[in-house]
Amino acid sequence: MRGRQLRRAAICLLAVVAAVLVTACGSGQEAVDRPATARGDGVQADSGAEREAAEKAALKAYSGYLAASRTASRRSDPHAPELSRYLADPLLTRVQLSIRDAKEHGAMRTGTLASDPSVTAVSLDSDPATVEIQDCLDATGYRLIYTKDQRVVPGSGGGRHLATATATRYPDGRWLISSGSAHPDQPC
């Protein structure tokens, strides 16, 4: 009987691991290269300075998102205030749910997650303005562990894989990460 309960718990935790890896970056939307469009007056809509500022703000939001997500996961706190500083829905809710699910199953994330993001597209003329980000995440040192005894949850090991995210500029001027996706089947 106890063996069956342990197997069931391990299966639930493996599902949580998969959800955490995917929601750590994800909605399933891949980066789409959108060229800057020209205005009718012949002036390029995405000036170099505006584009550079958007890229910098989006990458800062993305780095903040990864740091806030790691901190909230390590503390098993799905309502950590730093999450809403860098994330917007629908991604915010999905990250909160994955942290809550891990906590409910007695697990938490620990370790390091290495990141090397780059901007793949900027669309300042869209409403709202967006920046597409591509990253090579190295999750080899980022593990899901049982909080009770610090054992690694079987099957929770990560590797290096592609991830994509979308940063969106909101009416108050903030750039927040609103969607993204992990692509564990695409090593980098």
More confident residue, 46 or 123: 123
Nearest to residue 164, comparing CAs of 34, 56, 59, 30? 30
2-31+47-183 folds as: Nuclear Transport Factor 2; Chain: A, (3.10.450)
Q: Where are the alpha helices (DSSP H) in the chain?
A: 2-23, 48-75, 81-86, 91-104
Q: What is the mean pLDDT of residues 32-40?
A: 35
Q: What is the pLDDT, as a whole number, of residue 47?
A: 85
Cα–Cα distance for residue pair 36/96, rounded to 1 Å: 34
Planar angle of CA 24, 26, 30, nearest 5 degrees: 135
Q: What is the pLDDT, as a whole number, of residue 114?
A: 94
Q: What percent of the chain has pLDDT over 70?
A: 76
On the question of pLDDT at 6 being above 90, the answer is no
Q: What is the pLDDT, as a whole number, of residue 46?
A: 52
- Which single residue is written with the structure tokens 């099957």? 155
Structural domain spans, the chain: 2-31+47-183
- How would residue 163 be classed by pLDDT, with cut points 50, 70 and 90? very high
Q: How many CB atoms lie within 10 A of CB 129?
A: 18
More confident residue, 124 or 112: 124
Q: What percent of the chain has pLDDT over 90?
A: 68
- pTM given for the model: 0.76
On the question of pLDDT at 152 being above 80, the answer is yes
Q: What is the mean pLDDT of residues 59-71?
A: 97
The span from the first CA to the last CA of the chain, in angstroms, equals 43
